[in-house]
Amino acid sequence: MIDSAFRCGTIAIVGRPNVGKSTLMNGLIGQKISITSPKPQTTRHRIHGILSLDEAQLVFVDTPGIHLNGGKALNRVMNRTASSALEGVDVVMMLVEAGRFTDEDARVAQLIAHVKVPVVLVINKVDKIQPREKLLPYLAELGQKVAFTESLPISAYDKKHTQLVINTLIKHLPEGEAMFDEDMVTNASSRFLAAEMVREKLMRRLEKEIPYGLTVEIEKYEVTPERVIIDALILVEREGQKRIVIGESGGMLKQVGSEARQDLMRMLDSRVHLQLWVKVKDNWSDDERALASLGYQ
């Protein structure tokens, strides 16, 4: 008998920072929605990515990497944002990095130990382990450390692997009608995505603690027949950071602006005029009220 019932559900993507959650979500929906970088703690919000197929609709929820040590208020908010994403979803997809299992992975395993829905454990970045057989003892060990329903060793960059993830997830989704219009890839606003694209370039270009002390706010977002006009404000915590973000003769800001503009033009399918500003806002990342007003929940 052919099972032809349409399936639809939400899938939380959780794991410690830097395991490839956002890269995988973008790969699964075939479009860049969530920003990525080689640095941990890139994602700060919950970000929905929607994949609409003939037989199912998969609603992914990308989350900030769950990390130890409360640290600043922003860190606590990020951990809360991630763990609360486990509530009310139909499937939990936990990511680990092939060959590694840290205390932060153990924390994630502990958080998902009691969820009532299927847990798909994705062992990402298998491309980094050669030959593959080296992974076998690691895979056996994971069975003791994570309570999962099914596990999949993959590389988020590999189309065949992402297809396998999709097929596996569909099996675990409940029957039901689509929740979103089929041409919708995210429910995030263009304004939010614009701020994120700018933050991604800053995250990738800046070193040490600088990327962690900044946030981006969109001050103006105007759509005209010719182009989209965007003014983005980069908030930093100290004068010294402002100097670094601007760079010598404004060089850093120029590069960041030009890279972000390329992404935005692709995303918005329009010409884009992007203007960047930098301002100091003392201690915003450790101030609960400032965080709330900056859109961190």
Ligand X SMILES: Nc1nc2c(ncn2[C@@H]2O[C@H](COP(=O)(O)OP(=O)(O)OP(=O)(O)O)[C@@H](O)[C@H]2O)c(=O)[nH]1
Confirm or reject binding of residue 21 to ligand X (CB under 6 A): yes
Residue 191: CB minimum distance to ligand X, A: 20
| Cross-strand partners of 96 | 123
Residue 34 in tokens: 């969530």
Residue 285, Cα to own-chain centre: how many angstroms?
A: 19
Partner that binds at residue 168, options Mg ion, ligand X, none, CB closer than 5 to 8 Å by kind: none
* 14, 56, 86, 156: residue in contact with ligand X (rule CB under 6 A): 156
Q: Any contact of residue 52 with ligand X (CB under 6 A)?
A: no
The one of Mg ion, ligand X, none whose footprint includes residue 157, by CB under 5 to 8 A per kind, is ligand X
Name residues contacting ligand X, limited to 185-244 (CB under 6 A): none
153 lies in the binding site for ligand X (CB under 6 A)? no
Backbone angles phi, psi at 193, to 5 degrees: -65, -35
Half-sphere exposure of 125 (CA within 13 A, CB side): 14
Note whether 43 binds ligand X by CB under 6 A: yes
Of 173, 191, 211, 156, the residue nearest 267 (C-alpha) = 191
Applying CB under 6 A, does 79 fall inside the site for ligand X? no
Q: Site for ligand X (CB under 6 A): which residue of 11, 12, 20, 32?
A: 20
119 binds, among ligand X, Mg ion, none (CB under 5 to 8 A by kind): none
The residue among 47 and 56 lying less far from ligand X, judged by its C-beta, is: 47
Around Cβ 267, how many Cβ atoms within 10 Å? Answer: 17
- Give min distance, CB of 98 to ligand X, in A: 8
Nearest residue to 148 via CA among 109, 119, 171 = 119
Q: For residues 10 and 246, which CB has a smaller minimum distance to ligand X in the complex?
A: 10
- Residue 87 CB, nearest approach to ligand X (Å): 19
The one segment of 47-55, 119-127, 246-254, 289-297 that binds ligand X by CB under 6 A: 119-127
Query: Would you count residue 160 as binding ligand X (CB under 6 A)?
Result: no
Residue (38 or 225) nearer to ligand X, CB: 38
Compute the half-sphere exposure of residue 253: CA atoms within 13 Å on the CB side of its CA: 21
Amino acid occupying residue 176: G
**Residues composing the chain:** 297
**Please, what is the minimum distance in Å from the beta carbon of residue 37 to ligand X?**
5
Stretch that binds ligand X, among 34-42, 174-182, 206-214, 280-288 (CB under 6 A): 34-42
Cα 41 to Cα 2, 37, 99, 145: the distances in Å are 43, 9, 20, 23
- Read off the DSSP letter of residue 175: B
Per CB under 6 A, the list member of 9, 49, 65, 118 interacting with ligand X is 65
Task: Select from ligand X, Mg ion, none the partner in contact with residue 46, using the beta carbon and a kind-dependent cut-off of 5 to 8 Å.
Answer: none
Rg for the chain (alpha carbons), in Å?
A: 20
User: What ranges in the chain are assigned the alpha helix state H?
Assistant: 21-29, 73-84, 103-112, 136-145, 159-172, 190-205, 239-246, 251-268, 288-293
Positions that interact with ligand X (CB under 6 A): 15, 17-23, 36-38, 40-43, 64-65, 124-125, 127-128, 155-157
